[in-house]
Amino acid sequence: MISYNYETEFELSNEDEFSKWVSAIIESENKKEGEINYIFCDDDYLLEINQQYLDHDTLTDIISFDYSVGNELHGDIFISIERVRENAEEFNVSFDEELKRVMAHGVLHYCGYKDKTESDEQLMRSKEDEKIKLFHVEH
C-alpha cells in the first residue's frame, strides 16, 4: 500500500499513476510491497526531522526511514518540494523528472542500494534512471 501525505501546498495530480509506478519499481527489484508513505513537505519541515532524528543540521531533498522486514518494503519517505524544485533548476531537468528521481531514490534505499561512496552513488543514479523509465510503461 502506497500512500501520500501533504504537509505543504503541493499535491500529486495523479496518485494512482505514481502508485502503479512505485509498485513496478518494487516488483522489478523482486521485492514485496508493504506500507510505504510519501510525505511531501517544505525545507523547514524536513530540516526539523533531519535535526531531531539524524542530528544533521542541513537541508536535504529526501529522508527515508526504512521499516522493511526481509523482502517486504515498508517505510516513510519525506520529500522537500522546495529542494526538488531547486535541484531541478540546478540540474536543468523538469520538476516532474526530479520528483520521480527522488521518489525512486527512497524506494531504492529500501531495496538495499546505498549512496555513500562514489561507486554506490553511480549505481544509485543508474538505478534511478532505469526506474524513471518505468513510469512511461503501460501497466
Once rounded to an integer, what is the mean pLDDT over residues 54-76? Answer: 95
Per-residue pLDDT reduced to its tens digit, 69-113: 999 999 999 999 999 999 999 999 999 999 999 999 999 999 999
Q: Is the pLDDT of residue 138 over 90?
A: no
Q: Is the pLDDT of residue 139 over 50?
A: no
92 Cβ contact partners less than 8 Å away, ≥ 6 residues apart: none
**Does pTM surpass 0.85?**
yes
Per-residue pLDDT reduced to its tens digit, 8-33: 999 998 999 999 999 999 999 999 99
112 Cβ contact partners less than 8 Å away, ≥ 6 residues apart: none
Residue 136 pLDDT grade (very low, low, confident, very high; cuts 50, 70, 90): confident
Chain-wide mean pLDDT for the chain? 95
CA–CA separation, 19 and 2 (whole Å):
6
30 Cβ contact partners less than 8 Å away, ≥ 6 residues apart: 71
